[in-house]
Structure 1
Amino acid sequence: MSQIPTLDIRRFDTDREAFVAELGAAYREWGFAGINGHGIPAEQIDQSYDVFKRFFALPEEVKRKYHVPGGGGARGYTPFGVETAKGAKHFDLKEFWHVGREIPRDSKYAAEMPANLWPDEIPEFREQAYGLYTTLDQLGSRVLSALALHIGLPQTYFADKTDFGNSILRPIHYPPITADDIPNERAGAHEDINLITLLVGASAAGLEVKSRKGEWVPFTADADTIVVNIGDMLQRLTNHVYPSTTHRVVNPPGEKARQPRYSTPFFLHPNPDFLIDVLPSTISADNPSRYPEPITAQGYLEERLREIKLK
């Protein structure tokens, strides 16, 4: 494959065996694929982006009301200049908001999954953000069903391991860049922490994916395409059968840098107590187990949040 493929997920219902094979091959090679035919209305995505943009346009002191000091960015607002890619010297050029799963406050996961915050200034924020959260959660479950089949597991393998997943919807605002020759990038080279990430609104240029040869490959998807990539947890679970590929968001050239950029990834996580232990079906003579010690999803998440300066 010379470029990252885009696949129609409707074929999971009409041409399952071929679709699973093609999707699995794309992830083995790239750790990334575009997904279209997903049925998420453009109107829903547009309305969500409208409320997100309105929030980020609020005065700084208003937005900071929703920042939770010591919260690791788990919910609410994270200001500009905080998150830093693992190993990077310079912070990312972005601010963002986190929406998590709504669970009963007497749930056994309540300590790891705090209640959501919602901005009073934008009444529609909650409905739009959580509606998009739910829609992407369902699409992510379909992608995981296909990947389970590809590595010889039951189609429903992930269902009871992600039904209370500590997943996050992250509306991001990359403000206009007003200075030239700054060392910071909009998002420094990194890998995602979770199982899979679904990116809505990747139609703006800037996303680049590092190929196996070490080349940076731009991936600007069509407006109706959701970019879905493998995260570190799934790489570990599958013994690197599915690579968690390094990617970044580069600063655009010239006058384009003076324009803001918005994107909204959905980070699909397993349930906090899920034990990430290498799947036997992914161990072979050519690919012996790389991780003899299992770790819980929550333990792994906390370890990584410290590395990226959110904790």
Structure 2
Amino acid sequence: MNQIPSVNLADFLSEDKNRKQKFINEIGHAYENIGFVALKGHFLDDNLVDNLYKEIKNFFDLPTEIKEKYEIPGIGGQRGYVSFGKESAKGKKEGDLKEFWHFGQYVDEDSKYANEYPDNVNVEELPKFNEVGKETYKMLEKTAKYVLRSLALHLGLDEVYFDDYIKNGNSILRPIHYPPIKTEPKGAERAAAHGDINLITLLMGAQGKGLQVQNHNGDWIDAMAEPDELMINVGDMLSRHSNNKLKSTIHRVTNPPKEMWSTSRYSIPFFMHPVSDMKLNVLENCIDENNPKKFDDITAGEFLDERLRELGLKK
């Protein structure tokens, strides 16, 4: 594949069985071949998107000393602020040219996961920041639920197979700011080549050039969404669970051409994670004589912990 296919969630949500099956076939084919789709028909409205961008720009424009008071030690960057250059791709020593914020799950108080997750961090200086972040989180989580339902059917599972695993899941909404580049970046990129850890990633802000996906021939292709589309890709957890039937594709955010160094870039991925005790063991119906079991048994929590250490976010 040399371009990212586009699908419309309205087809899956329609009462028309043929439209629903068409969506399942299209997204299944895309995820088996390139690991990415551009998705229309999601649950984010334009007003919410505009408000979110306004709030995150306001946050990243705050003085560094104010932002840094929201950098919480000892939680592996799972909530609040992570300052510039702190995260690096697996196997890469240079830090990525970005700063970011993490909104996490909003758990019911009586949930068994309430004590497992760090609290979300409130930004005192921006009264609407957390409210808008929470609403965006919920709408992306709802969108992700239906995408996973379509993939469950594609994999020959019950449609709601993933529902209980993602309810109160350890998902993260990450507004990212790639600041203007002031000096020649020696080996560093805005986001070095990597695969995502989670089940699926829903990305806002892929309208401009920068995001690139590596296809199976090893070629880098631009992944650009229309203004009304989310870019959605398979993560390593889902790839592992499906015995690599669904592909977690290596991708990166390249540095802009020198004449664009003075500009900021913003993107907002939502990393859909299951609950930590979900078993990521390879699904039996994804194993056959041509596709033997490729991965050891592991839980989502164990896998996440392992990867956060590799990324330098957890010691």
In structure 2, the residue matched to 1:289 is: 293
Match of 2:304 in 1: 301
Deviation at 1:105, TM superposition (A): 4.7
Distance 1:202 1:228 in 2: 10
The equivalent position to 2:92 in structure 1, one of 76, 81, 88, is 88
Residue 97 of structure 1 corresponds to: 101
Percentage of identical aligned residues: 48
Match of 1:175? 179
- Describe the superposition over 1:246-305 as per-residue Cα deviations: whole angstroms up to 9, x where unpaired: 0000001022121000000000000111111111111111111112x3211111101000
Paired residues of 2:106 and 2:168 also in contact (CA < 8 A): no
Show the counterpart of 1:38: 42
- Of the candidates 212, 216, 235, which is equivalent to residue 212 of structure 1? 216
Distance in 1, matches of 2:142 and 2:83, equals: 29
Pairs aligned (count): 310
- How many angstroms does 1:37 deviate by? 1.9
Work out whether residues 2 and 221 of structure 2, in 8 Å CA contact, stay in contact via their aligned partners in 1.
Answer: no
1:262 and 2:241 correspond: no
Q: What whole-Å deviation, never above 9, does each CA across 1:168-194 have from its counterpart, x for those lacking one?
A: 000000000011353210000000000
> Is 2:152–2:161's contact at 8 Å kept on the other side of the alignment?
yes
Equivalent residue in structure 1 for 2:136, among 132, 151, 160:
132
Structure 2 alignment gaps of length 5 or more: none
Checking the alignment, whether the CA contact within 8 Å between 2:75 and 2:118 is kept in structure 1 is no
Q: What pairs with 1:241-252 in structure 2 (closer than 5 Å)?
A: 241-252=245-256
Q: CA deviation at 1:38?
A: 1.8
What does residue 203 of structure 2 align with? 199
* Gaps in structure 1 of 5+ consecutive residues: none
The 8 Å contact of residues 170 and 265 in structure 1, kept in 2 or not, is answered as yes
Amino acid at match of 1:100: G
Residues of 2 paired with 1:243 and 1:62: CA distance?
40
In 2, the alpha carbon distance for the partners of 1:71 and 1:204 equals: 32
Secondary structure of 1:67 counterpart: coil
Instruction: Kindly report which structure 2 residues correspond to 1:104-183, keeping only aligned pairs within 5 A, or say none.
Output: 104-105=108-109, 107-180=111-184, 182-183=186-187
Residues of 2 paired with 1:127 and 1:255: CA distance?
36
Relative to the length of structure 2, the TM-score reads 0.96
Q: 8 Å contact 1:112–1:272 — kept in the other structure?
A: no
CA distance in 1, matches of 2:192, 2:160: 35
1:35/1:92 CA distance change after superposition, 3 Å: same
The one-letter code of the counterpart of 1:271 is V
Whichever residue aligns with residue 297 of structure 2, its letter is P
Amino acid in structure 2 at the alignment position of 1:97: W
The SS at the match of 2:144 is: helix
**1:9 and 2:2 correspond:** no
| Runs of 4+ deviating beyond 2 Å | 104-108
* Whole-angstrom CA distance in 1 between matches of 2:167 and 2:275: 7
Alignment RMSD, CA only? Answer: 1.1
Q: TM-score, normalization: structure 1? A: 0.97
C-alpha displacement at 1:41, in angstroms? 1.1
Partner of residue 241, structure 2 = 237
> Contact 2:204 / 2:231 at 8 angstroms: preserved in 1?
yes
d(CA) in 1 for partners of 2:185, 2:196: 27
Residues in 2 aligned to 1:112 and 1:215: alpha-carbon distance in whole angstroms: 41
